[in-house]
Structure 1
Amino acid sequence: MKNLKQKQRTDLPAQIAKAIRDSILAGELTADDRLPSEADLADTFDVSRPTVREALKRLAAQSLIRTERGAFGGAFVHRLSYEEAQAQHATTSTLLLSINEVDFEVACEARYAMEKSCTALAAARRSADDLAAMRAEIHRQGHPELSDEAFCASDVALHRALVDAAQNPILSYQLAGAVEAMQPLMNMITFSSRSREEIVGLHHNLADAIEARDAGAANDALCALERYTLELGRKFIASRSVSRGG
């Protein structure tokens, strides 16, 4: 019983943070609304002000509120941008894949299935800037002195440019985790055996299809990339199993 009471006391900031977060999600508190003062919140939840302060810190860490100083300061509901949400989503996805052992083929299947879902929109809506971003990364990937880390970063940037060409911020948000987290994971496994020339050629086919507004050809290019990635991954996993068995 003593441990339970201690746990309840320890969890008070989390409980208060959840209550405020639930009010935001329910629309009772909207973007830029000012929260009650620490003293008022302490009275409402019947806790100390330090406990309220800890709850507010947790909400701020989740980018749900912001604090402002001065006579008209206080805690306000934060207007979260898509860019901030994408960054958080990508970080969470990366942690999820790092902490949990995710099968390579499962990650590959998910990542390409999600990206192929936006190719038709990207082909229809792409702008000159989107194409320029993709072409710039392909040109960068052709540099023989480019490090493996830089090639991986360029690979991610190219696929992010494809996703963003769909001009749908919700799709971009949802796919941020897939591209930012899964693509580096796949690159880590395949970089030692992949052919940069092969990948650059496939990237050229993808960019050409998007430029021609040919959704079918863009989907075919992604399917070819998926097959090549799976082939490399399977070879790597098989060779690692042999070396461990030896």
Structure 2
Amino acid sequence: MSIPAYHRLATSLRERILAGEFRPGDRLPVEPELSAGYGVSRSTVREALRLLASQNLIATLRGVSGGSFVVAPRPEQIGDYLHTSFNLLAADTRITVDQLLEIRALLEVPAAGLAALRRSQDDLDELRAALFDPATLPLEEMHEPNKRFHTLLLRSSGNPVLEVVAQPVFQVLDERFLRERAPDRFWHEVDRDHREILARVEAGDEKGASEAAGAHLEHLRSTYQAIDRAS
């Protein structure tokens, strides 16, 4: 099947953007210039620009000073895309629970170590505020502080890329395999593990924080696997 001309043009422009030829804030060549340069019609150019806009690579502005401008991606856009993609793959069983947990371990274990080295007092205060008591908190209210603790731990690493990449994996595991289905003892283990991770981070113990995060993920594994088998 032949690739439509507008798609080939969009691919070429995307490659030029990713190569740095056009940087965020730069205006792309105007329609007549693109049409002549690529030997395509102006309607093909417009379709290509619409495709790039749908991929959040450019924004088109009207008016005398308008045009198509390269935009910088926002972290939440990347996270939303990864979340949707991982969820669809997990639903289609092309990504397993074990594979998702492996990704979490590769990202969150070193992130905990970095958090121990880089956390601020504000980070510690927020992490402490995200702790919860499973003995008093209703089950349906435990997911948000659990999610918040992990988000804050990633943020405390000082590397925003870790948060962008790891958070969607956490969300898929929580939404697809955990929500409303984990036994009570699971949440007591989560609470104990979170407190141990926080203690290591607060002490500035890089190795201990990483080990505590790794142990936490191992504790989660059997629950996720049991829920996956039952679903």
SS at match of 1:47: coil
Residue of 135, 144, 147 corresponding to 2:128: 135
Matches within 5 A, 1:62-73: 62-73=55-66
Q: 2:193 corresponds to which letter in structure 1?
A: L
Matches within 5 A, 1:61-210: 61-139=54-132, 144-147=137-140, 150-188=141-179, 191-192=182-183, 194-210=185-201
Residue of structure 1 equivalent to 2:41: 48
Measured after TM superposition, the shift of residue 159 of structure 1 is 0.9
The structure-2 alpha-carbon separation of the partners of 1:76 and 1:235, relative to structure 1 and needing over 3 Å to count, comes to closer
Measured in 2, the distance between the counterparts of 1:127 and 1:184 equals 30
The structure-2 alpha-carbon separation of the partners of 1:226 and 1:154, relative to structure 1 and needing over 3 Å to count, comes to same
The structure-2 alpha-carbon separation of the partners of 1:140 and 1:44, relative to structure 1 and needing over 3 Å to count, comes to farther
| TM score, norm. by length of structure 2 | 0.85
In the TM superposition, what whole-angstrom CA distance separates every residue of 1:203-240 from its partner, at most 9, and x where no partner exists?
111112211212233223223322221222344456x3
Residue of structure 2 equivalent to 1:29: 22
SS at match of 1:66: strand
Count of residues in correspondence between the two structures: 231
Measured in 2, the distance between the counterparts of 1:204 and 1:108 equals 21
Measured after TM superposition, the shift of residue 101 of structure 1 is 3.2
Q: 2:74 corresponds to which letter in structure 1?
A: S
Measured in 2, the distance between the counterparts of 1:116 and 1:40 equals 50
Cα contact 2:109–2:211 (8 A) shared by 1: no
Measured in 1, the distance between the counterparts of 2:53 and 2:119 equals 36
The structure-2 alpha-carbon separation of the partners of 1:236 and 1:182, relative to structure 1 and needing over 3 Å to count, comes to closer
Measured in 1, the distance between the counterparts of 2:177 and 2:202 equals 26
Long gaps (5+) in structure 1? 242-246
Long gaps (5+) in structure 2? none
Q: 1:106 corresponds to which letter in structure 2?
A: Q
Measured in 2, the distance between the counterparts of 1:146 and 1:86 equals 26
SS at match of 2:68: strand
Measured in 1, the distance between the counterparts of 2:202 and 2:157 equals 13
Cα contact 2:116–2:206 (8 A) shared by 1: yes
CA RMSD, aligned part only? Answer: 2.7
